[in-house]
Amino acid sequence: MDNFSTIATQILHTMTTLFSNFFSSVDANVFSILDDIIFIDTDIINDSFITNLLGSSPISNILLLCNSLLFGFVIYYIISLILSHIILFKLQTPYQFVCKIIIVSILINNTTNICAFMLDLNANISWAIRSLGEELFNSEICFSALESRIVPYISDFSNNFNLFSIQGFLKSFSSIGLINLVLSYSLRYIMVKVFILLFPFSLISLLNESTTYFFKSYIKSFISLLLSQSIVALILLIVFSLDFTGNNLFSQIIFIGSIYCLSRVNYFMKELMGGITTTVYTNATSLKTLFKGGF
């Protein structure tokens, strides 16, 4: 009986040590990464890969492909215009089409400037919210500053971690939530780059009434992805207003709630504006539903 008790104690101690080290590692490395992947600006479009792929002139890379598609749409319209006089179906007037293709052509060949403007405007909105927080709390509003603000909370968990206690349970949720944040906003970071590359193609879809739905869906999704960082800034303002010095159960639970709320921002934006979500938890649930019941 004593041997069994000793073995159980050793297993419990080993598990507690492993989880404590893992959670401490998460806390030490995650916060600074979050600032880089959430608060994006024009640096994301100045990446050499994006710049080279888009092309620096109308006759290179993606811009060349898009300008070729414009020429294809012109041929398609001419054929449709001829057929419309034969089989009598309604078509947009040549004047409307010419105006559209001129405007779309100008916008396509200024993709980099337009996307840079959108990114800069969005970054300024989130920066204004964070600047307001700096005046209110005399602290930079970011995840790196949040880490230093909750050091006593983190240190207490690391030094007195017990996996099978309410504090240990909450700590587990906190660290897993932070990992989920990194995965969700890493996916958002990649999707913003994808949407930048799709921008000229979305403009081309405006040339035909049957494809305009693509641009509408695209622009809602893109704006939703960009504005989510402003919502994150607002949530951080609330988090910075909390007092973690007492390290009581209430503040710990509210902190867990704020982490969960941050991880669901993209989902909330989808529900509010439409578009896509980059919430990892939601995608995992969808996969579970997909495979439910077997093959």
Going by C-alpha positions, the residue among 123, 20, 188 that lies closest to residue 131 is 123
When pLDDT is averaged across residues 244-249 and rounded to a whole number, the result is: 62
- Cβ proximity of 16 and 129 under 8 Å: no
pLDDT tier for residue 3 given thresholds of 50, 70 and 90: low
pLDDT tier for residue 273 given thresholds of 50, 70 and 90: low
The better pLDDT of the pair 155, 98 is held by: 98
What global pTM score does this model have? Answer: 0.78
Going by C-alpha positions, the residue among 39, 281, 31, 21 that lies closest to residue 178 is 31
Distance (Å, rounded) from C-alpha 120 to C-alpha 141? Answer: 19
When pLDDT is averaged across residues 255-270 and rounded to a whole number, the result is: 77
**Residue 195 pLDDT:** 92
Region at 162 (left for phi over 0; alpha for psi -120 to 50; beta for the rest): beta
Tens of pLDDT along 214-227?
A: 888 889 889 888 98
Distance (Å, rounded) from C-alpha 231 to C-alpha 211? Answer: 31
Other beta carbons within 10 Å of 286? 11
Tens of pLDDT along 168-210?
A: 666 667 777 778 888 888 888 999 999 999 999 999 988 887 7
Tokens of 221: 């999704």
